[in-house]
Structure formats: structure tokens, C-alpha cells
Amino acid sequence: MKLLSVILPAYNEEKMIEKARDTLGRILSEQDIPYEIVFVDDGSKDQTWSEIEKAAEKDNHVAGVHFSRNFGKESAMMAGLASAGGDCCVVMDCDLQHPPETVVEMYRLWEQGYEVVEGVKHSRGKESLAHRASAGMFYKIISKAVGIDMSRASDFKLLDRKAVDALLEMPERNAFFRALSAWIGYKTTSVEFDVREREEGVSKWSTKSLIRYAITNIVSFSSAPMQLVTGAGVFMFLLAVVLGIQTLVHYFTGNAVEGFTTVILLLLLIGSILMISLGIIGYYISKIYEEVKGRPRYLISRKIDSQVKEQRNR
Ligand code: UDP
Ligand code: MG
């Protein structure tokens, strides 16, 4: 039988660990799917880790990874994939906003030979208008960079062992899981799901962290902002030609003193465009610097392997 690893990144989710274990365990054993559940505690400040330890004690399907501090969901997902022993892995949110029943659907598709099964949001759940609009813009840029429509993409997906190994081999520190799993290709299909309401706890995302997330991931996947700099340069050059001709005409017709306003406006415009451009380029350089340092994506302080995985390895 083929083992399924379900990976659940968890940050301050003490109330959801037992619920997630119970719900997933019930659904998967009903369907006779051999499974392990890998909780990745992303440096939580509450009782998440001791909840995971408790769950592992009473259920031999449970595995756990504990980070030395909060490294973010992207790192947590990667750590989960790295320690999973399954023939296929499903990544989903620990708060059960991704419906566990869909995991079964994904597994069945995998049995039919699909290597990547993307969870696609049928509805995005409750969101404000501003949130929806900025998310829309973000996905437009990312879709363009990856070359695949990502507007309804999520982190909820099943990956075959081959795809998992391909992802783990990527050297980049700034891995954007959602786009990378589309980028690697493989035989892909998708299932639709409705985003559920969170049962316990609160969302870990603030507007600020969402903006940072968007910028980091755009930069890690696309050089479009740099091309924007080139675009601005070309635009300014065209403007320069027009104004240059006008200035020369003024000069030769003998009324060259005028146009002070134009000079001030041009100075202000060029100055700000230059500074923005430097900022964009600087941001890319700082990201290159981060990559070059080659620090690990995460540090693990404690780890529990599931007995299911150990039995299989024996
Ligand atoms: N998460 C994480 N590390 C973080 C933030 C979030 O592992 O730094 C996990 C969190 O525990 C949850 C998932 O990522 O399982 C999605 O987070 P959340 O529910 O806060 O996001 P939302 O559903 O509101 O987009
Ligand atoms: Mg959530």
C-alpha cells in the first residue's frame, strides 16, 4: 500500500492540533488510506509543541518537527516535505480551512496517475474588498512570471514523491511554494474546494505581513519590477527628446531664459524616478545577498518521526 503524508504547518495553533489529527485520522482510516500526519511547529509561542507531543504519544501516525523560532509558513512546508516519508504528500493548513475530505479526492486522483494535484479555491471565503483587489493584482504578476494562471491557487496540494524531491532539490532560500509547485510541471490536475471559516484561533496575517509576503514572492519569481525601471528610463528618454527639441528651438529663436518651471518639474520627476529605481534594484541585490549567504531555510530544534514511517523504512 502507498503511504500518504499529510503536512500541516502550525503556528500558535494549540487548539487545532488535536482537532486536525482526529478529523484527518477519522476520514483517512475510513477510506483505508495508509497515512502519517506531519505537524510542523513553526516556533509557536503557545502550547502547540506539547500538543503535538501528546498527539504523537497516543497516535502512531503522528510526526512532528519543531523549529528553533518562527521561520514562516513557506519554510514550515518545506521542512514538512523534507521529513515526510510518504509516496505522496499533501500540504494543507492546520486550521482545517482546507477541507480534509478533499484530501481523499486528491489521493484518488494520484492513484490514477496524476503527480501533482492542485487545490483550487472555488470561493475565497470572507475577505474585504481591498484585500481581494490587492490579492488579484499580486496573482496577476505571479501568473505572468510562472506562465500559469494562479489567480485561484492555494498552498493546498498533493505532490508525488518525484515532485517533492524536485522541490527539495531547489537551492533557493526564498522559495515560493505555490508558484514553484506549478513551475516544476509534472502531470497535473486540480480539484476545487471551498475555503472554510477558521474554527479556532486567529489568522496569522496582518496587512503588513501580507504586503511583505507579496513583495518578497514577486521578487523571488519575477524580474518585472526591474523591467519597470527600464520602462521608466525609455519614457524619460522620449520626454527628453521632445523637450530637447523645444529647448533648442527656443535657443535659436532667441528666447531661451523661459522654462524655469519645466526645469524644476523635470528635476523633481527624474530625482524621484531615480530613487525608486535604485530602491527596486537594491531590493533585488539584498535578496541576492540573502541567497549568497546560503543560510539554512529553517533550524529544527526537536523532531518526532511517525511510527508508520519507521515501520516502512525497516
Ligand atoms: N502558519 C505558519 N507559520 C506562520 C504563519 C502561519 O506555519 O508564520 C500556518 C498556520 O498555522 C496555518 C497556515 O499557516 O496552518 C495558514 O495560516 P493562517 O490560517 O493564519 O492564514 P489564512 O488562512 O488566514 O490565510
Ligand atoms: Mg487559515
**Which atom from ligand 1 is nearest to the alpha carbon of 202?**
20
Ligand 2 center to 39 CA (angstroms): 15
Q: By alpha-carbon position, which residue is closest to atom 2 of ligand 1?
A: 73
**For residues 9-36, b (16+ Cβ closer than 10 Å) or e, as one string?**
bbbbbbbbbeebbebbbebbeeeebebb
- Distance from the CA of 287 to the center of ligand 2, in angstroms? 28
**Residue 127: CB within 6 Å of ligand 1?**
no
- 37-60: per-residue pLDDT in tens? 999 999 899 889 998 988 888 888
Q: Locate the domains of the chain by residue range.
A: 4-131+147-202+297-313, 224-293
* pLDDT-derived band at 157, boundaries 50, 70, 90: very high
pLDDT of residue 125: 65
Quickly state the pLDDT bin for 229 (edges 50, 70, 90). confident
Residue 159 confidence (pLDDT) above 90: yes
pLDDT at 8: 95
73 lines ligand 1 (CB under 6 A): yes
Q: HEC profile for 32-98?
A: CCCEEEEEEECCCCCCHHHHHHHHHHHCCCEEEEEECCCCCHHHHHHHHHHHCCCCEEEECCCCCCC
Mean pLDDT on 226-240: 86
State mean pLDDT over 213-222.
Answer: 79
pLDDT bucket at 124, cuts 50 / 70 / 90: low
Amino acid 7: pLDDT: 95
Question: Does residue 70 line the site of ligand 1, with CB under 6 A?
Answer: yes
Residue 10 near ligand 1, beta carbon < 6 Å? yes
CA of 182 to the centre of ligand 2 (A): 22
Looking at the chain, the whole-number percentage of residues with pLDDT higher than 70 is 96
Give residue 95 CA to ligand 1 midpoint distance, Å: 8
Residue 180's pLDDT band, with cuts at 50, 70 and 90, is confident
- Tens of pLDDT along 66-95? 999 998 888 999 999 999 988 999 999 988
Ligand 1 atom with minimal separation from the 11 CA: 11
Going from the Cα of 117 to the center of ligand 2, the distance in angstroms, rounded, reads 20
* More confident: 9 or 122: 9
pLDDT of residue 13 exceeding 90? no
pTM over cut 0.85: no
- Report which of residues 289 and 213 the model is more confident about: 289
117/109 Cα distance (integer angstroms): 7
* Topology (CATH level 3) of domain 4-131+147-202+297-313: Spore Coat Polysaccharide Biosynthesis Protein SpsA; Chain A (3.90.550)
pLDDT at 261 over 90: no
Mean predicted lDDT score pLDDT of the chain: 85
Instruction: Say which ligand is closest to the CA of 8.
Output: 1
